[in-house]
Chain A
Amino acid sequence: MVTPLLPLKMENVSVRRGGKTILGPITLQLADEGISILLGPNGSGKTTLLKTMHGVERPNTGTLQWNVGAEDARLRQAFVFQSPTILRRSVLDNIAYPLTLRGVKRAEARDRAEAFAARVGLTRVLDQHGMVLSGGEKQKLALARALILEPDLLFLDEPCANLDGRATRDIEEILLAVRAEGTRIVMSTHDLGQARRLGDEIWFLHAGQLRETTPKGQFFSEPQSDTARSYLRGDLLP
């Protein structure tokens, strides 16, 4: 039995940039299963929070405590960035890349990459160069590249921000399937509909502060904070 990655305990975590606190202090526990949706207006600190949890952003104060060692924890999670970074390689080699980093033989890595490409529907473009893909295909590539590590925890930063409806639906289907396999997902979005469709719980972030972490049904029917209420109404928040 492998020691579970979660819970993650964050205590008093804050991030400062240029003398200004842009996030926190945040105290939060990430546990259980399901999909947490991070909502909040632009500049509220969604990306910073995700990156800090993942560990690519260093907090200025506070601690992150995983259920396993920090190094082990890094290997068991993956991140899909808002604008996907595409390596200057073929689609297949892009998806296989994380495995080769971990010492998997090239041939085996490519075999497994092919399977994950099929899963996100990129089989048709396997041999194309990553840079010539459409926006939706690029995001699927990034998703496959994150999933190939079979992470216990997957972060996504507005994965559908610039996609059309069809690509968005494809990605949502994949995410629901991934969730069903037991991968914990934390993702940010601007799309309230997407939050309704995917979320098990909603985190609402405003001005670097986590205003609420509420089960989905409750958040949309009776949000607990004033800011969340005005956000849902469509008001512009200061």
Chain B
Amino acid sequence: MKFKSLILAAALAVAGSFASAEEFKMSVTTSFANSGLAEVLLPEIEKDIGLTVQLLIVGTGQALELGANGDVDAVLVHSKKAEEKWLGEGNGTHRREIMYNDFIIIGPAADPAGAKAATTATDALKAIAAAQAKFVSRGDDSGTHKMELALWKKAEVAAEGEWYAAVGQGMGAALNTAAGMNAYILADRASWLNFANKADLAIAFEGDPALFNQYAYLPVNPAKHAHVKADAAAKLEEWLVSPRAKELIEGYKIDGQQLFVFNATAN
């Protein structure tokens, strides 16, 4: 009898230790992590709804893959096409838009391709290609990379040749490469502002609405992976679209610049 109650107590203790620290895993893109916004939001989430969100910082492709395998509870990425395909495969329950930031074209301060004079993003890229100015591409199938490819397509330029270097790495590493080569690169504003190794680079083009970068929150489908924390995912979603989140997201500034625009709509 005593032995049985001991086992029960032990089982409860083990279960308790799991329950008390509710850990929630979310895969996010490098660009989101590099923005520094996570460091503002996560402690507040923990305070407000008692959820410890653990971030897995990977590329968009890997972020969605982790969700598809059930290794995370939710995904926060910015690549609409890939997200919709992922949802179509039954990996998630739905897609909720949270906020956007924008991409910018970075380049040598001297702007040898004259991208600054362009009026649209596609014109800026055309100028770079025409000048055969060095351009670094993420080349890693990430959201940023996909955005870049879409822009090249719109500009009707074949992005290939000696001037075009696809590095197949994250935003930070790609920016490091661009800084080293003094090349143009497409980056999200947040990563750029937080990037410490700017060297001789500066913003070459910005402001075209085509460069907007929509972040969406996608809970992993509990029908596919029974173990995912669907309740916690719902709770987090509720928080992410709340006025409290709006205040924090829009209040986040680097060098006085606002990085993200909150655009979640109430259900």
Tell me if chains A and B make direct contact, with any CB pair below 8 A.
Answer: no
